[in-house]
Structure 1
């Protein structure tokens, strides 16, 4: 469960080109457990937390950008909206065990200021070890953008023989007045190194033609350029020329797709020396961090020392907006929603196909009724003012074309809702439409794409000249996602290559729930995938204040690779939502230390953290641990932490209650779960997973969580996979929210137990299970699902 966070354009994307991140309040995240004497846990600010391995954390960068790193190694980056409307991309680097996340408008700053790991641990930047200055050679680097102008960007120098130099960073074009040094970071564009073999690669940004080529603003596109392996024996001048890079192209012959805003999310690479640690780097891009969803890579020969890999990551779906006019090629893009809305429902989009006569929205007295108003962008007037003025005059749709060559994503302001669908066009497209007036445009919009391509294309050891990929569904894995419930949602998919210890990703608003969507995933044994979904849709902005509400974020319980043609079905938010355990972080004991993490799980086993909200109309949780009948720990905050236990075998009970007071909640409004087990110190350094019982509920439900059959199937299993037989299992049902209960007969089946429910309306469930070893589970769920 999550509360709304302050700030928040996401660097984690959207069907309307934005991203939502899932970020827990740092104070709750840090909370462990208190002793029973204080009854309820205090906030972390009042009492230091006990640290546990793999614990999630949040860090605020010097720019105000927020980084969340989860226990499973998933990093999400949230960009606080900036006054100038700048949407950054992030340079992500892992080197020497530290994670660096640098906004692309801070490339001239010392990367040590953006060391997420050091900021979290409270470490000061390390003092560079002194280096001998004699015997060094000078490398001077110049960047050239794709249009031939001086290029803005960064590059890194890495010793591929033994990695002793680590990954030194420089900016382009750099400060010409700074001396050339051998420091790991400097604001100049040159570097001093010992003669040797290096990887010298970087990213060059190409700016719009109407803007300075080195402006700290949103680029048109990015290019990976340089030399993954080059011998440096003397003073050398290098040119990182983006014109030598080839575009990454993708065809999807089985579906019509478009690079909607946020389609390109990752450009990541790693370089491993012959001996020594690797360095991993990349650019994390969200909707709006480039004006074009394009990336280029310079061909490079096969490396001989160590290893090299680079990949791009894409999200393609049905075109969100298209426009056709006789004799014209048009590439409309919705103006960036982050400036005009907090959630997707506040942003007007075209759904379906319509024919609109084009009218000159700048001509005084023009008849705009029922037409597409074509308006020239102006630095002195906000896009919202231009669009809403035309809408007030009757326009059904607005197209803003740039007042200078090319495209422009600057909206000249934010905080005003749009009233009609509004797109941007290039200067050339707008002028061409005006020259053909009167002309009719056919506009088509897709709000909820029924399919999605999640594609990752790695290149190993070299970069070929041809970077044209064909994504045929027969060569991809097919995952059908069934999204249950009534509330709006946000969804995201995470990928990970073997050399990545964390996964960064963007999440997107998911409209039209409940419904199903087909995802096609890159099928590669070395590419692992997982997913998440949250309800309701979490705001990607906070321009229009609304009442606080809690969020449920479900994480898929496994990372999987896929084979070509493989098919899977995954359900999300299928009822009931009950107290449960995280399969990726089970309750386990090492020595006298018991590690605990509980939350909510849906019928598919997707896991969500859950803790008390700090506002009315949210969640109220209570977590308690008993030794025998003695309360030894409790908290109303995040139920994650660890306890010291006596070495001898004792009986313990973990209780976890969640009340959901959210206005959007219809089902699983209250759940109570208690696990009873015996535990003693494991032998040696062994970590023993506690054999807690869990119940799997399987009802035949429609996507609205309404039963299509009165049969309910139950299965009982152990958290550690053990097979201790059941001693007893009982089920009671209630149709008055738990005021009265009736036991129901359970029939043994091949896969568990089954019963037929006979009531109507919202059914509540109470389960009691005990195995022959004395492990007990008691679980009560009020309004589990609906019976016809």
Structure 2
């Protein structure tokens, strides 16, 4: 056991000049230092101060060896002084056993104008792990005492744990490991770099688990994650372990319909009986991370262990192939770019890097523009350039080896769908285009796309075959249908989507009237707002400078319901209704109409609407004896903006 010992002089309120003459002194200049080796093996560095006080700093002795500290008393008076000595010890969790802290003498005589010393010895072999405090009381003949505090700490011996990490290609790997003390719950994060890391740990039982990264040899990008490690490591001596991602097995989950992931979460839960546990989960979110791997552990019999895997899988956003020639084209969506709905067949055209000189003389109208990535240009600008030249969609080909995913600003999006393609596949595409006209089959988002929320949990260890399937028995189906978002310009349909997403539409600069409708339908699991329909009508023109918020009216309902979104039945219910524009200002409302329905919108009755002084309205609705109340609101302002909103089952009554 390792031990350390320190001392600190403590003054008392009753201290006199006589006692001060025979007490340890501090905070004076050091006039000399020398090294003293004790019989116990400790090395003591003595600092002699100008006032005669010697301060000793003791280095820890070997494991289990006693630690001794010298306490010097300085007498600056002209007569000898005898001090009686007593040592009293206390422990943080338990009193120190007899003999753990000892003094070399019960009294000491300090000659006039000189010093005298006693030693205090700490015996770590006698006590349990913990902190201990002792107070040496030196009492002068007159009864005045001076006290010196002694602090001792007994630590668990430390040993080295060396972790070597190997990626799936057999190369030294970067990793992120969690070293968890199974007995006391202490967590340490360890980050091996270059394939190895050594950490000093107290002896004990540990769980050493985490993620090993496999990176591209050229690009250096993370290609995959592997959960690996040892659930129980009994660490008593210096030890080395290897986490080898090559031993990993891919986690696979089959779904009823074709689906693809967008990242995953890997982790585990672990604890010993009656001890604090760990819940570790590492998330990896990117279109590039399609494959998660785990290294099987075998059965974990000490305590509880559970492997966890989470993933959300989507209906494919894009599938592409060469028309009439065969061969898939592995496109990855540009994040926040416009999406393709349904299918299309487009001729691919080389658009260079999208610069004006590249597009001069190119016929991109209703074509698939194949653009080479340019590090000096923004991808969003490259896409905008080919869209402006008439392209119907764009593919951005990486200009360097390795995986490639990119993003455009969410606020702007893109006017056309866009995808990325790695350099090797891009070379194949350019080669086919050079040989002759090349058409690409594009299958975008299909009608009624599916989303699978997957939680795979395996108790007792990481399984050797982490394979599962979504079935009717182990899953539930939730139907949440956005019937569509539709946009019109002066009565002409501009776009229609089957689900709500960021959309950018090219429109002219002249003033025009626009209409946006959004219809949603929820499953019966959601008892309120089971169907909604909202239509905004507004006027807009290109702003002179920068951007401006569209003049959409937004209703704000102050329904005054209880915690379960219910109101009292069979009585008139009053609630507040107000309207705001998107920029937060209050519009000049020109008219408001409200209707209520007690039969889910089959019939409607007008509600009483009264204007309030603060620009809002008080609405009065007669609640039925049971069931739900649906609301329909129409409003317009003096600038021509209108809102029509229907909420089926807006609130319940009881």
TM-score by length of 2: 0.54
CA distance in 2, matches of 1:293, 1:533: 35
CA distance in 2, matches of 1:745, 1:386: 57
Superposition map of 1:68-467 within 5 A: 135-160=157-182, 162=183, 164-173=184-193, 189-212=197-220, 219-252=222-255, 254-259=256-261, 263-286=262-285, 288=286, 291-325=288-322, 326-337=325-336, 347-362=337-352, 364=358, 365-410=361-406, 417-437=413-433, 438-446=437-445, 449-467=448-466
Superposition map of 1:621-640 within 5 A: none
Query: Secondary structure in 2 aligned to 1:457?
Result: strand
Alpha-carbon distance, 1:155 to partner: 0.6
2:561 is aligned with 1:580: yes
The 1:280–1:447 alpha-carbon spacing in structure 2 relative to 1, beyond 3 Å, is: same
Query: Secondary structure in 1 aligned to 2:191?
Result: strand
Superposition map of 1:643-654 within 5 A: none
Asked whether the 8 Å contact 1:379–1:412 carries over to 2, the reply is no
Please, which moves more after superposition, 479-488 or 356-365? Answer: 479-488
CA distance in 2, matches of 1:372, 1:204: 39
TM-score by length of 1: 0.46
CA distance in 2, matches of 1:551, 1:455: 36
Superposition map of 1:755-770 within 5 A: 762=633
Alpha-carbon distance, 1:734 to partner: 4.3
The 1:199–1:659 alpha-carbon spacing in structure 2 relative to 1, beyond 3 Å, is: same
Query: Secondary structure in 2 aligned to 1:201?
Result: strand
Larger Rg: 2
CA distance in 2, matches of 1:383, 1:417: 11
How many corresponding residue pairs? 423
Asked whether the 8 Å contact 2:342–2:447 carries over to 1, the reply is no
The 1:273–1:785 alpha-carbon spacing in structure 2 relative to 1, beyond 3 Å, is: closer
Please, which moves more after superposition, 224-233 or 455-464? Answer: 224-233
The 1:545–1:208 alpha-carbon spacing in structure 2 relative to 1, beyond 3 Å, is: farther
The 1:602–1:255 alpha-carbon spacing in structure 2 relative to 1, beyond 3 Å, is: farther
Please, which moves more after superposition, 380-389 or 352-361? Answer: 380-389
CA distance in 2, matches of 1:548, 1:328: 48
Deviation per residue, 1:412-459 (Å, 9 max, x gap): 989764222110112222122222223211111117744322211111
Asked whether the 8 Å contact 1:246–1:298 carries over to 2, the reply is yes
The 1:242–1:356 alpha-carbon spacing in structure 2 relative to 1, beyond 3 Å, is: same
Deviation per residue, 1:389-429 (Å, 9 max, x gap): 22233221111122223322245989764222110112222
RMSD over aligned Cα atoms: 4.9
Alpha-carbon distance, 1:327 to partner: 3.0
Q: Runs of 5+ in structure 1 lacking a partner?
A: 1-128, 177-188, 213-217, 338-346, 489-507, 521-531, 537-542, 554-575, 584-599, 604-654, 672-696, 702-706, 711-732, 765-781
CA distance in 2, matches of 1:745, 1:582: 18
Alpha-carbon distance, 1:369 to partner: 2.7
Which residue is equivalent to 2:602?
A: 708
CA distance in 1, matches of 2:237, 2:189: 20
The 1:548–1:233 alpha-carbon spacing in structure 2 relative to 1, beyond 3 Å, is: farther
| Structure number having the greater strand percentage | 2
CA distance in 2, matches of 1:190, 1:392: 57
The 1:206–1:742 alpha-carbon spacing in structure 2 relative to 1, beyond 3 Å, is: closer
CA distance in 2, matches of 1:427, 1:406: 7
CA distance in 1, matches of 2:217, 2:306: 32
The 1:753–1:379 alpha-carbon spacing in structure 2 relative to 1, beyond 3 Å, is: closer
The 1:443–1:277 alpha-carbon spacing in structure 2 relative to 1, beyond 3 Å, is: same
Asked whether the 8 Å contact 1:735–1:762 carries over to 2, the reply is no
2:480 is aligned with 1:478: no
CA distance in 2, matches of 1:374, 1:533: 42
CA distance in 1, matches of 2:522, 2:647: 25
